[in-house]
Amino acid sequence: MQLGFPVKITQRDDLPSNDARRHQSGPHLRVSLGYLRAIFDYLASIDVRMYRMSSDLAPYVTHPDMPQFHRQIDECRAELAALGADARAQGLRLSLHPSQYIIINSPDADLVQRSVRELAAQAAILDAMALGPEAVVVLHVGGVYGDRSASRERFIHAYTQLPEPVRRRLVLENDDTRFSVGDILHIHQHTGVPLIYDYQHHMCLDRERIPVAEALRACIATWPHGVQPKIHFSTPRTEMKATRRKNKQTGAAATVYQPPSWTNHADYVNPFEFINVMRQVPEREFDVMLECKLKDTALLRLRSDLPRYAPDVAARFGLLEPAEQERSAG
């Protein structure tokens, strides 16, 4: 089992995750791939073998008004192949998670078409890197549009219409306000799409009141034989949020404190909840993407705490010395 983290590196300020320049400055996938090369080295140096790449590696690659950006993946065939070989050599599991604007269950056919184009670009990047089936593109169901059931059925229809390279990579995740674990299980039954169980989202939205162990097992079971399942884990921020607000009339600034929503991510994983959830499914292996605000810093902290406090869980992530590993197994 592996622990991973998404996109941004917080331990270092010299490792950007994508070429984020504005379109006027001519950003390019080639620049992002140079950054990624350095990120892979960093991941190897901290012994991390799962990572979510930025969904903006290829800037404007499907922007309808900017055809000059549309050839980037072809222009980087060689670089993509080389990076993919590096990833395989270091046993690195990669993924992509397109932004909230990529929606395939919209009633707006044009928006669906633009979204499918973007998904095709994301799948093409993973294909050009020649990554195995564990390298997935993660998507949410989309909008409710006033009728959850109809919108769920529209997702099912849209999924069956997807180009084969997209369908081969796509996996579906429960979200925290619209489509629950129950919803994605229903969609799986009608499409076969593998499911990502997100613990924090499940805690925020669970209309069917599915127990954690049951939801986790059910989602894990949707992955095809031979492909290691993956889940998302995070816990909510509990500290008050300070925001500096300026009065529009007077210009006077004041700090306002607000309680965080359950959907806000904490800086670090709550370790008690982490080990509790891991122990719900002792019989299956799966990878865990940690979606904390402090990304790699949170992963490193959890990893250093686990052997001392929860050697049984640490053992499953290969975090014990061989002698301790044996003791924990025995």
Helix (H) / strand (E) element for 115: namely: helix 109-128
**Judged by CB under 7 A, which of 4, 39, 50, 56 binds DNA?**
56
Residue 249 touching DNA (CB under 7 A) = no
- Work out how close the CB of 163 gets to DNA at its nearest, in angstroms, rounded to a whole number: 18
Q: Which residue from 319, 325, 327 is spatially nearest to 47, judged by alpha carbons?
A: 319
**Judged by CB under 7 A, which of 149, 161, 189, 261 binds DNA?**
261
- Work out how close the CB of 104 gets to DNA at its nearest, in angstroms, rounded to a whole number: 10
Degrees, nearest 5: CA angle 120-121-125: 115
E-only strand ranges, the chain: 3-6, 50-52, 93-96, 136-139, 170-173, 195-198, 230-233, 241-246, 253-258, 287-290
Compare residues 221 and 256 and give the one whose CB is closer to DNA.
256
Residue 255 touching DNA (CB under 7 A) = no
Residue 160 touching DNA (CB under 7 A) = no
Residue 122 touching DNA (CB under 7 A) = no
Stretch that binds DNA, among 22-30, 157-165, 195-203, 315-323 (CB under 7 A): 22-30
Q: Cα–Cα distances in Å, from 93 out to 129, 135, 179, 222?
A: 12, 6, 27, 19
**Judged by CB under 7 A, which of 72, 95, 106, 222 binds DNA?**
106
What are the φ and ψ backbone dihedral angles of 123, each rounded to 5 degrees? -65, -35
Residues 212, 233: contact at Cβ < 8 Å?
A: no
Residue 16 touching DNA (CB under 7 A) = yes
Enumerate binding residues for DNA (CB under 7 A).
Answer: 8, 16, 20-25, 56, 59-64, 99-103, 106, 108, 111, 118, 142-146, 178, 261, 263-265, 293
